[in-house]
Amino acid sequence: MPILSIPSAMRKLTGGQSRVEVPGNTLGEAIDQLEALYPGIKARLVEGEKLRGGLSVFVDNELPLTGLRTRLKPESEVYFAPAISGG
Residues 44-64 have pLDDT tens digits of: 999 988 999 888 999 999 999
The DSSP bridge pattern shows strands 3-5 and 50-51 to be unpaired
Residues 11-50 have pLDDT tens digits of: 999 999 999 999 999 999 999 999 999 999 999 999 988 9
Surface-to-core class of residue 79, CB atoms within 10 Å of its CB (0-12 exposed, 13-18 middle, 19+ buried)? middle
pLDDT at residue 87 tops 60: no
